[in-house]
Amino acid sequence: MDVLRCKTPSMVRKEIYAYLLAYNLLRSLMWSAGTTYGTPPLRLSLQGTRHHLNNFIPELLAAHNTKRLEIYRTLLKVIVHKTVSDRPGRSEPRVRKRRPKVYPLMTKPRHELRKQLQTA
């Protein structure tokens, strides 16, 4: 029964706060990288920033204070190199891509359908 226990509203709230905190951390890194190296922060890749941060975390945790600042600056340089192209007027229509198929639904076991197909 413990495995199937539902999350309480406070647990859900904490999880949402954790996601917001991570998102804001990534956006602040993008802002720092963009303003430091002259790239518009909105043109930097959020997922690229996340990827680079995940790669740099072990080095940042293992480094001493003087080395940590150097690694942080390197991280900002790497983040700046991953930009997203400008896509003006981009909009995605809400439509279904897949069309309904004309085939009937499978209402019998597969082996029965095979026999029926072979005898026909």
| Tens digits of residue pLDDT in 20-32 | 999 999 999 999 9
Q: What is the spatial distance between Cα 52 and Cα 75, in angstroms, rounded to a whole number?
A: 7
Q: Let me know the angle formed at the C-alpha of 116 by 113 and 118, rounded to the nearest 5 degrees.
A: 110
For the record, the structure tokens of 7 come out as 């999350």
User: What are the residue ranges spanned by the domains of the chain?
Assistant: 7-85
| Tens digits of residue pLDDT in 70-100 | 999 999 999 999 888 877 777 776 777 777 7
For the record, the structure tokens of 22 come out as 């991570």
* Contact status, residue 79 vs residue 30, Cβ threshold 8 Å: yes
- Beta bridge partners, 83, equal 44
* Contact status, residue 36 vs residue 74, Cβ threshold 8 Å: no
